[in-house]
Structure 1
C-alpha cells in the first residue's frame, strides 16, 4: 500500500478544499477523554488544474481502519492516472467511478486472502472446539472490517458522485431569498432505503430485520467480507440466494456547477447523528442546519481547513454539553463516533474581517498619532512604540492575529546592516551641556566633585 500512496505523491492537493475531524469519544463524568477505538475515518482531496479535474473522497470505516485506509490510497490510483480528462463524456466518468469502486473491493479482498483462507480452515477443523477460540475470533474480526465510501469528481464544470454506505455528499445552494438549501447528492444504503429493501427481498431476504443484526447495517459497503463472500456463515443472512451486501456504487451526474452553489460537504454520518440530538429542526431539516452552521463559519474563518474544523468542533461541543446536561438514561448520548467533514468551496467568501479590522486600527493610529508613539526619520512617520493591545511585526506578511504594517524599505550598508536613521544630535548636545555644568555625572570613589 505504500507504493500506491507514492503514485499520488506528485498530484497537487486541492486548494479549494479543507478537512475537519474529531476522534470518537466516550463522555466520562470526570471530564477525562476516553476513546473507544483508533480513528477509522480517512479522506483525500486532489486537483489537476491542467485537466480541469478534481476528486474528493471520504471513507467512514467500521470494525477497524484497515479497509478505509486501503480505499483512501487505492481509489485515487483509478481516477487520477490518466483515466479521466476534460474530454471525458458523462458516461465515461460514471463508468470510471463505478469501476474504481469494484477495483478497490477486489484488491482489498485479495489483500486479506490469507485471513479468509485461515478462517475457512479453522471453521472445519475439529480441533477447534469453541467459537471463542482467540485466533478464530481475531480472523472473524478481520473479515468484518469495512467502510462506507463517498467519492466526488468535478470535471469540465460538472460534478459526479459515487457512494456506498451512508456518508452523505451535500451541495449547499444559496437561494434568491438569502436562505441556504441543502441538496443531498448521495444515496443512503441502509434499511431505510426502500429500493435496497426491495433488492434484498429479491435475493431471498424477505425480512429486512435479518440485516439489522449485521453491524453497522449497510446494504452496500467496501470490504466486510463476512457479509459478502462469507454470508453463508452468518445465520441472519444464510437464506439469501446471492451476496446480500454489494460493493457496486450508485453514481449520480454529471450535475452542472450552478453559480448558486456555495460549497460541497462530504461527511461521516456521525455528524448528522450528533446534530440531530442537539438541534431543533422545526424550521428545517438536519442537512439544511449543517449548511447554515458551515455558512456561518465562512464568516469567521480565513481558511477552508479552519471552516471545516470549526464546524466539527462546534458540533462536538454542542453534543457534549447536551449529553452532560441530560437527566434521562438514554444510552445514545453517552458517546459519539469519529467525525470527519470535507468542505469544497465553490462561491462562498471566506472572512477577512478580523485582519481588516486590526489593520484599520493600526492605520488610524498612524493617521492620528500621539506624540510619544511616533518618531520622524527622513520625513516619514512610522510606529515606534505601538500600544500593547495592537501587536505588530516587522514583516510584510500576515499570520494568525499578527498584523504587519509596511512603512518603507530601510537602506542598508555594504554589510547588509540597516543604516542609522534616528538623529541623536539633540541628545548629544544636551548631554554635553549637562556634563559641562557638572550636574550629570556623580563623583567617583566617594571623592569630591571636580
Structure 2
C-alpha cells in the first residue's frame, strides 16, 4: 500500500515509497499510516556564493535531509534526519522508523518507561538493519576507506575513494502519544520546546545536548572508553559522537589509530530520550525541530549565541499571520536565507549555505495568544534579543496557571537553557535514568588511567 500523502513538502524530503519498499525486513506492512496535518515543514537546498556576491541553489546536488510527519490514530511521529556522506542513511531511517514505531508498538496502555524502551530499541534496530543492507549490497572485503581511515591522515590532501559502506545520519524526534510528548535524538540536530508561561511570556527550552566532542558529557564518555579527548579535539576527526550509520567508524573503529585505544565502539546510536511531558487541553505552545544546517546558517550570519531562542522568535512572529504552519516554517527559512546572503555580501568569510529543514508542531497556540507589539517585548529568558510578538497574558492566564511549568528560566545564564534528565526530576517530572551507561566498563580490564585533561 501507499502512504497517504497530502503533502506540501517537496518529495525529496519525504519517506514516501510504494508498499514493497515500505515493508520492513520482518515482513510487516504499512497500514493506515497517514501524513500528520498538524505539523508544518519548510526546507531549502544548499546554496553556493560567487565572488561577485551572487548566489545560486545547488539544484543538481544531493539532498541529504529527510523529514517525516506521520500519525496512526492518536500517535504522532515527527522527525528530521540530517544525513552526511550522501542520503543513503537518512532515507533508510525515514523509511524504517515509522515501521518501528507506528505499527502497534506504542499502542496503549503504555507507561513512560515502556515508551522509552520502544524508542531506544527502534534506534538500535534501524541501524542494525541499515548495516545489514549495506553488507548485502556491497562486495567484501569492506574496506574502511574514508576521510578518517589510516590512509588519509587529517591535514593531508589525499584523494578519498568513495566507500560503499559510508554514510550516516543524525536523528531528532518528537513523539506525541496518549496525551504526552517525548523527545529522542542522537547527533547535532535540535529539538526546542516553547510554551506560554502564566505571565504571557514565551519560554524556549532546548531539549537535550548536541552529541559532539565539545559536549562535556560526551567527552567524559569517550575518556572513560580510553580515548584521549584533548587529541580528539585538536585533530578534530569526529564531527559527531552519536549517529545512525557510519559503518567504518563503528564496525572497524580499531583500524583508526586515534580510536584504537577505545575498549568499545566510541561512536554509538543510543538516543537521548526525554519525556513524557503531559500536554492537555490547556497547554499553549509549540515545538520545533531543526537540522544542523539551519542552526549553523543562523549562527554564521548572526553570530548569536542564542540560536534556539532566535528561531523561536521568528516562528512566533510568523504565527501572528494567517499563514499555515507549512508557510510559517518556509517563511522562517526564507528569512534565514536572506540574512545569510546579506552577511556574505557584507564580507563574511563563508562561501556556502547548508541545506536547511524546519518542522513545527503547534499545541494550542493561536493568534489570540500572539499579537504584534511596539516596542518589542522580551522572549524566553531575556537573553538580550528582541521579540516581534507579545504573548497576551490576559487571554490565557487562567488556563496557563493550571499548567505545570517544565523548568524555570535562569535569567542570569548566558547560554540557551537546556532540558536535561537531571533537571526534570526537580520540576515534578518522573526521574529518567542517565542515558550514558558505563556498566559495561566495570567488567573491562583496561590499561589506561583517568587523568585530568589539563595535565
Q: What is the TM-score normalised by the length of structure 2?
A: 0.68
Pairwise CA distance, 1:138: 2.1
1:196 aligns with 2:228: no
Provide the residue aligned with 1:268 in structure 2. 291
**Structure 2 CA distance, aligned partners of 1:9 and 1:296?**
38
Instruction: Map residues 42-441 of structure 1 onto 2, 5 A cutoff.
Output: 42-49=66-73, 52-114=74-136, 118-120=140-142, 137-139=161-163, 142-210=164-232, 213=235, 217-257=239-279, 259-279=282-302, 281=304, 285-326=306-347, 330=349, 333-349=350-366
Q: Given that residues 290 and 358 in structure 2 are in contact (C-alpha distance below 8 angstroms), is that contact kept between their aligned partners in structure 1?
A: yes
Deviations 1:397-416 (A, max 9, x none): xxxxxxxxxxxxxxxxxxxx
1:186-206 per-residue CA deviation (whole Å, 9 max, x = no partner) reads 331111221111110111102
User: Tell me, which stretches of 5 or more residues in structure 2 are unaligned?
Assistant: 1-16, 24-28, 146-150, 371-455
Return the offset for 1:322.
Answer: 1.1
The one-character-per-residue Cα deviations of 1:22-77 (angstroms, maximum 9, x if unpaired) are 0111112352415394110001111223xx21111110001100000000000110
Regions of 4+ moved over 4 Å: 114-117, 211-216
Q: 1:122 to 1:261 in 2, by over 3 A?
A: closer
Unaligned runs of 5+ in 1: 124-129, 354-450
1:90 touches 1:253 (CA, 8 Å); kept in 2? yes
Deviations 1:246-270 (A, max 9, x none): 0111111111126444111011022
Q: Find the counterpart in structure 2 of residue 411 from structure 1.
A: none
Q: What do the CA deviations read for 1:313-332 (whole angstroms, capped 9, x no partner)?
A: 11111111111112x6x3xx
Q: Does 1:33 align with 2:56?
A: yes
1:303–1:350 Cα contact (<8 Å) kept: no
- 1:74-96 Cα offsets, whole Å, 9 max, x none, are 01100000111232111111000
Residues 136 and 307 (structure 1 numbering): CA distance in 2 closer, same or farther, change over 3 Å? closer
* Aligned residue in 1 for 2:26: none
Q: Distance in 2 between matches of 1:73 and 1:122?
A: 26
Question: Greater shift after overlay, 37-46 or 185-194?
Answer: 185-194
Whole-angstrom distance in 2 between the partners of 1:90 and 1:215: 37
Residue in 2 that maps onto 1:369: none
How big is each residue's C-alpha offset from its partner over 1:425-450, in whole Å with a ceiling of 9 and x where there is no partner? xxxxxxxxxxxxxxxxxxxxxxxxxx
Contact 1:226–1:234 under 8 Å retained in 2: no
Following superposition, the deviation at residue 176 of structure 1 comes to 3.3
Which TM-score applies when normalising by structure 1? 0.68
- Matched residue count: 335
Using the TM superposition, give the Cα deviation of residue 301 of structure 1 relative to its aligned residue in structure 2, in angstroms. 4.0
* Native 8 Å contact 1:42 1:59 kept in 2: yes
Contact kept? 1:263, 1:345, Cα under 8 Å: yes
Q: CA deviation at 1:225?
A: 0.9
Greater helix share, structure number: 1
Q: Is the 8 A contact 2:48 2:55 kept in 1?
A: no
CA RMSD of aligned residues (A): 2.8
Q: How many angstroms does 1:172 deviate by?
A: 1.0
- Counterpart position of 1:383: none
Q: 1:195 to 1:336 in 2, by over 3 A?
A: same
Query: CA offsets per residue over residues 325-374 of structure 1, 9 Å max, x none?
Result: 12x6x3xx2212110001011122269x9xxxxxxxxxxxxxxxxxxxxx
Task: Supply the distance in 1 between the matched residues of 2:337 and 2:159 (Cα, whole angstroms).
Answer: 37
- Conserved? CA contact 1:60–1:268, under 8 Å: yes
- 2 CA distance for matches of 1:4 and 1:115? 16
Contact 2:168–2:245 (CA<8 Å) still a contact in 1? yes
